[in-house]
């Protein structure tokens, strides 16, 4: 069979992209307040840390915001019978509530009315993204929903002709703050030797402190051989992260009449594996999304949407596994690969606080 020969011939080039949690430059951090923005479902962005001396209507967070740091923590405790105390069975992060005391200020009453009406209509229209960006270039985001606080209070201390104070109440069903997207790509190149080494960084690679993707050094590894130690993926996160895998063909194909050879993804750090029993044609992409609340396996359409459901082709589909904080040794094995083949994982680090 051609499969065994192919498993021992190509090497995988692994290219990392993303940024560290402490920003891109690694230089001294300026002692300045963070920039906080709220982006609503309709795409409207509101700066919540504006300078009140600027021209025009603006919004500023007053002292006293709550819910920005550690999430609420719940523990399930089994009480001992006839003895003092009990035993903690498990712990979990509960839904987070955030309260932001806001000041809306303008030079005139018409400007204040315009800003206030626009904020209320946008925030109540649906979910939003709260983003905190530090001066060092790092940024974290969290998904929130409006819960209250914009009802208004025309008391003398809370409102005037050109200003208004509110206590914006938000709820975050997912209590974690997310860092910038990170990706790692296992790409096959035929004819290269089996060894692990660093390659020169791509030309023009640089950090992107605004939360975009940046290039890290690539690695060359013979990752298409069963039993190799794999590639170390360093996850800078406070808790587990759930990756999205993209498998681009040709992979898993063999000679005509032969069954597909599974594309196997293994985390040797945790001992967990994932197998796709599907021959991915050249140019096609299969997406395995392990994120809680999503968990889908499908063939991607040319337009980037969800096509054929491939859940039946995944072994152990009920236990799509996360990556742990720290170093995860990942091994990708496949047959039928050429220079067009690739397996890419992407994830966002999850953090307890902003």
Domain regions of the chain by residue span: 2-21+179-351, 35-174
The whole-number pLDDT of residue 206 equals 40
pTM for the whole structure: 0.79
Distance CA 233, CA 182 (A): 11
Q: Which residue matches tokens 């898993």?
A: 252
The whole-number pLDDT of residue 156 equals 65
DSSP-based three-state secondary structure for 292: coil
Cis peptide bond prior to 250, omega within 30° of 0: yes
H helices of 233-288, in order, are none
DSSP-based three-state secondary structure for 333: strand
Q: What is the full DSSP assignment across 21-49?
A: TT-SS--PPP--PPEEEEEETTS-EEESB
The whole-number pLDDT of residue 194 equals 27
The CATH number of the structural domain formed by 35-174 is 2.40.30.200
Contact assessment for residue 336 and residue 247, using Cβ atoms and an 8 Å cutoff: no
Q: Among 324, 339, 121, 122, which Cα is nearest to 236's?
A: 324
Give the CA angle between residues 115, 118, 123 to the nearest 5°: 120
The whole-number pLDDT of residue 6 equals 34
Segments of the chain with pLDDT less than 50: 1-15, 19-20, 22-25, 190-227
H helices of the chain, in order, are 2-7, 109-123
Give the CA angle between residues 223, 192, 18 to the nearest 5°: 55
Distance CA 36, CA 93 (A): 23
Question: In this predicted model, what pLDDT tens digit does every residue of 10-59 receive, in sequence order?
Answer: 334 444 565 445 444 455 556 888 999 999 999 999 999 998 887 789 99
């Amino acid at each position: 069979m051609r499969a065994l020969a192919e498993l021992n011939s190509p090497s995988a080039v692994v290219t990392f992209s993303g940024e560290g949690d402490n920003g891109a430059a690694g230089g001294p951090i300026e002692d300045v307040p963070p920039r906080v923005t709220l982006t609503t479902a309709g795409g409207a962005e509101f700066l919540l840390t504006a300078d009140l001396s600027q021209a025009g209507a603006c919004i500023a967070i007053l002292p006293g915001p709550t819910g920005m740091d550690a999430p609420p923590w719940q523990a399930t405790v089994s009480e001992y019978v006839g003895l003092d105390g009990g035993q903690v069975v498990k712990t979990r992060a509960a839904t987070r509530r955030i309260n932001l005391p806001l000041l809306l200020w303008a030079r005139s009453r018409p400007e204040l009315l315009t800003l206030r009406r626009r904020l209320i209509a946008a925030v109540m229209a649906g979910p939003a993204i709260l983003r905190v960006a530090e001066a060092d270039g790092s940024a974290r985001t969290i998904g929130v929903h409006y819960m209250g606080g914009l009802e208004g209070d025309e008391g003398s201390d809370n409102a005037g002709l050109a200003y208004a104070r509110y206590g914006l109440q938000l709820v975050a069903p997912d209590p974690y703050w997310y860092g910038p997207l990170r990706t790692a790509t296992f790409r096959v190149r035929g004819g290269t030797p089996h060894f692990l080494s660093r390659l020169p960084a791509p030309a023009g690679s640089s950090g992107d402190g605004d939360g975009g993707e940046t290039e890290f050094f690539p690695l060359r590894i013979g990752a298409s051989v069963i039993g190799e130690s794999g590639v170390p993926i360093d996850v800078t996160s406070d808790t587990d992260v759930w990756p999205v895998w993209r498998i681009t063909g040709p992979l898993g194909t063999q000679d005509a009449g032969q069954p597909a050879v599974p594309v196997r993804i293994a985390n040797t750090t945790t001992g967990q594996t994932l197998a796709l029993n599907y021959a991915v044609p050249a140019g096609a992409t299969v997406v395995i999304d392990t994120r809680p609340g999503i968990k889908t396996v499908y063939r991607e359409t040319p337009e980037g949407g969800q096509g054929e459901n491939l859940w039946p082709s995944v072994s152990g589909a009920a236990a799509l596994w996360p990556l742990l904080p720290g170093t995860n040794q990942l091994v990708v094995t496949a047959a039928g690969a050429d220079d067009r083949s690739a397996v890419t994982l992407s994830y966002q680090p999850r953090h307890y606080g902003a």
